Chains A and B, each alone.
Chain A
Amino acid sequence: MKDSLVATTDSKANRLLQIEGLPILAVLLALVVAFMVAAPEVFLGYRIYMSFLATVPPLLVLAVALTLVIAAGEIDLSFPSVIALSGWVLAYCIHELGSPWLGLILALTSGALVGYVNGILIARVGIPSIIATLATQFLWGGLTTVFSQGLSYSLGDVDQLFLWRLLVGRIGPFPVQALWALAVAVALWLVLNRRRFGEHLLFIGDNAKVAEVVGVNVVREKIRMFVLMGVMAAFASVLLTLENKNFFNTQGGGYLLEVMAAVFIGGTSVFGGKASVAGSVVGSFLIGMVEAGLVATGLQGFWVRAVVGIVFLGAVVGHLVIEEPERGRALLRLIGAKVKLGRSTHT
């Protein structure tokens, strides 16, 4: 009787912790509250949040797409170059050809193509994804610089276009790209958790041999996955380029580590087979908010990376404790032992 009572409360607490993205959402909310206390004049108004909703979407789209790649036990380092390449394609079509829709289509197509090449190199030729996509990152990034002759495009009057209003316009103060990012997140959550394709990715990441034995076409699914990643990176690039009303050939360079941090903060396993799209959404906001938040609270900008590091480490340890209680306990024992050691040396 008593046992069962304990068991049920235990499982309730466990269930709460197991809800996708909830623990990290608590961290995000705590951070927001901390910012509210430290800089009430900024964080109690709505403007700062509208600003986040305008700037976080490209990061969010990338993080959510990369979540699927990491779920399958692979990595894609080439997406920063897709942001450059697709951005150039879009800017060129708008600026030189005057056809934004063609630009959108070609931008997404170029992303798909980069992804397809990655997929062939990795799944068919058998080059490890970290190597293949590192190489293609150089290739496409370099080619973008060649195509653009190192020039930037200023797209000052792009906000007159219907495409601009559709993708990054404002409803009152509300940035439309936040809705697109939400749509992408919901769609990719469904793909990962409710489609055969997503389940296949999870099994491939878990154990590729098992996936093959149960009849998953590993090569085909991996190629599809990298194409999806390429298209999503291109879409992120479109949002970024339109929002900035500007293209420059190194845009996207800063995204690589931020996106990976967002994914891992969100609880996706670096070993594959386990991934949280919701976690990556929250992780993206965490990463996207820390900088503006710290600056607003009066801390120097120098602190940003250090604070991200602390949040990152805390999140990773937290996920370990929740998801693998045994390793978590081992870690706590380690800390416990350290604490005792500290005391005993004092006495």
Chain B
Amino acid sequence: MTQPAQTIAAAQSWRHIVRLHQVDMTFGRVHALSHVNFEVGRNETVGLLGDNGAGKSTLIKIVSGVLRPTAGKIWVRDAPIDLDDYSVRMAHELRIETVHQGQSLGEKQPLWRNLFVGRQITGRFGFIDVKKEKEIAHQLLRQAIGFRGHGINADSTVRDLSGGERQGIAIARAMYFQADLIVLDEPTTALAVSEVRKVLAFVEGVKAAGHACIYIEHNLAHAHEVSDRLVILDRGKVVGEFAKGEITLTELTKRMIALHEGQPRGHD
């Protein structure tokens, strides 16, 4: 129903980059999400919390077009989306980018290819403009990511990078392509402490550069630190929502532990 370009042009004054209303997702007999209302405002960083199996992954897969919800409605930039048309490609065209933990970069490929794959700069005869891609990659590495003096350049392969740097490349890629919403799926999992600090700085950079962000995180302190708003999921339902400053880290921690231990699980 909608041409993405038109949607973007037509809706300059939107409030929410994405809004989900009464979204249900069932896999056979399992209710992964039930009646979820969820929205992300312009330039807002939303931390998504919840135990394993709470439905965080399902939720972001719906947002990024990987999964089609069983029921419910979705708006992007306040315009309703035809769910039959919604896909990863459509999400890209609507400038919604997802950085999947450990699955966003080709390990053996040089950084310049990684930055442009799927959106290559091509010349008149459809050949990739390698020189231009490398130039932009070089600038991006210097300025946006601040890789200096590591001996890392546009020709380095992803293998040469640390875990935090990889997240940085993936996030920089999303920002370079002007994503209005960047979905970060557990970007700090399996990283060393020093690397985590780098990634948190990248997440703050996303906000500073004017993008909105959904940030999935197991570490409550990190989520509490960088998020404008925290949304807590439990067994497919939104069970809590807190704007920055409404809840202290200690209270948040108590609440999460209560969720984890308090109620018996799995009766469906």
In the complex, are the beta carbons of A199 and B128 less than 8 A apart?
yes
**B197 within 8 Å of A (CB atoms):** no
* One of A31-39, A87-95, A177-185, A210-218 at the interface: A210-218
Give the CA-CA distance A221 to B41 in the complex, in Å: 37
Q: Taking the nearest CB of chain A, how far is it from the CB of B134, in angstroms?
A: 13
Which A residues touch B100, using CB under 8 A? 209, 213
In the complex, are the beta carbons of A202 and B122 less than 8 A apart?
no
Please list the 10 inter-chain residue pairs (A to B) with the smallest Cβ-Cβ separation, ordered nearest first.
A215-B118, A206-B106, A214-B118, A273-B108, A194-B127, A203-B106, A274-B108, A214-B117, A209-B103, A206-B108
Give the CA-CA distance A212 to B117 in the complex, in Å: 11
Which A residues touch B103, using CB under 8 A? 207, 209-210, 213
Which A residues touch B107, using CB under 8 A? 206-207, 273
Q: Taking the nearest CB of chain A, how far is it from the CB of B60, in angstroms?
A: 12
Which B residues touch A202, using CB under 8 A? 106, 108-109, 113
**B18 within 8 Å of A (CB atoms):** no
Give the CA-CA distance A212 to B118 in the complex, in Å: 9
- Choose from B105, B122, B128 the contact partner of A210 (Cβ within 8 Å): B105
Main secondary structure of the interface of A (DSSP, over half): helix
Give the CA-CA distance A212 to B87 in the complex, in Å: 12
**B126 within 8 Å of A (CB atoms):** yes
**A136 within 8 Å of B (CB atoms):** no
Which residue of A has the minimal Cβ distance to B99? Answer: A213
Give the CA-CA distance A216 to B130 in the complex, in Å: 19
Beyond known contacts A195-B127, A210-B106: 4 more, CB 8 A cutoff: A194-B127, A194-B130, A195-B128, A207-B107
For window 189-244 of A, CB contacts with B under 8 Å fall at 190, 194-196, 199-200, 202-203, 206-207, 209-216
Interface size on A, residues (CB 8 A): 21
Give the CA-CA distance A214 to B105 in the complex, in Å: 9
For window 12-26 of A, CB contacts with B under 8 Å fall at none
Q: Taking the nearest CB of chain B, how far is it from the CB of A282, in angstroms?
A: 21
**B92 within 8 Å of A (CB atoms):** yes
**A269 within 8 Å of B (CB atoms):** yes
Q: Write the residues of chain B forming the contact surface with A, with a CB cutoff of 8 angstroms.
A: 88-89, 92, 98, 100, 103-109, 113, 117-120, 122, 126-128, 130
Main secondary structure of the interface of B (DSSP, over half): loop
Which residue of B has the minimal Cβ distance to A273? Answer: B108
Q: Write the residues of chain A forming the contact surface with B, with a CB cutoff of 8 angstroms.
A: 190, 194-196, 199-200, 202-203, 206-207, 209-216, 269, 273-274
Give the CA-CA distance A269 to B157 in the complex, in Å: 15
Give the CA-CA distance A211 to B127 in the complex, in Å: 19
Give the CA-CA distance A158 to B128 in the complex, in Å: 42
Q: What are 10 A-B contacts with C-beta separation under 8 Å? A: A194-B127, A195-B127, A203-B106, A207-B107, A211-B106, A214-B104, A214-B117, A215-B119, A216-B118, A273-B107
In the complex, are the beta carbons of B126 and A273 less than 8 A apart?
no
Q: Taking the nearest CB of chain B, how far is it from the CB of A20, in angstroms?
A: 13
- Choose from A194, A216, A269 the contact partner of B117 (Cβ within 8 Å): A216
Given A202-B113, A213-B100, A214-B117; A273-B127 close (CB under 8 Å): no
Which residue of A has the minimal Cβ distance to B128? Answer: A194
Q: Taking the nearest CB of chain B, how far is it from the CB of A72, in angstroms?
A: 12
Interface centre among A199, A210, A211 (most CB of B within 10 A): A210
Which B residues touch A213, using CB under 8 A? 88, 98, 100, 103-104
Which A residues touch B117, using CB under 8 A? 199-200, 203, 211, 214, 216
- Choose from A196, A203, A212, A269 the contact partner of B109 (Cβ within 8 Å): A203
In the complex, are the beta carbons of A199 and B108 less than 8 A apart?
no
Give the CA-CA distance A154 to B117 in the complex, in Å: 50
Give the CA-CA distance A214 to B89 in the complex, in Å: 9
Which A residues touch B104, using CB under 8 A? 210, 213-214
Which B residues touch A269, using CB under 8 A? 108
In the complex, are the beta carbons of B108 and A196 less than 8 A apart?
no
In the complex, are the beta carbons of A215 and B106 less than 8 A apart?
no
Q: Taking the nearest CB of chain B, how far is it from the CB of A216, in angstroms?
A: 6
In the complex, are the beta carbons of A196 and B98 less than 8 A apart?
no
In the complex, are the beta carbons of A199 and B113 less than 8 A apart?
yes
Which A residues touch B113, using CB under 8 A? 199, 202-203
Which A residues touch B120, using CB under 8 A? 196, 199
Q: Taking the nearest CB of chain B, how far is it from the CB of A125, in angstroms?
A: 22
Give the CA-CA distance A203 to B118 in the complex, in Å: 10
Q: Taking the nearest CB of chain B, how far is it from the CB of A270, in angstroms?
A: 13
In the complex, are the beta carbons of B127 and A190 less than 8 A apart?
yes
Given A214-B117, A215-B88, A216-B117; A207-B106 close (CB under 8 Å): yes
Give the CA-CA distance A209 to B128 in the complex, in Å: 23
In the complex, are the beta carbons of B92 and A215 less than 8 A apart?
yes
Which B residues touch A210, using CB under 8 A? 103-106
Give the CA-CA distance A202 to B120 in the complex, in Å: 14
Which residue of A has the minimal Cβ distance to B98? Answer: A213
Which B residues touch A209, using CB under 8 A? 100, 103
Q: Taking the nearest CB of chain B, how far is it from the CB of A306, in angstroms?
A: 32
Q: Taking the nearest CB of chain A, how far is it from the CB of B181, in angstroms?
A: 16
Give the CA-CA distance A136 to B188 in the complex, in Å: 46
Which residue of B has the minimal Cβ distance to A194? Answer: B127
Which B residues touch A190, using CB under 8 A? 127
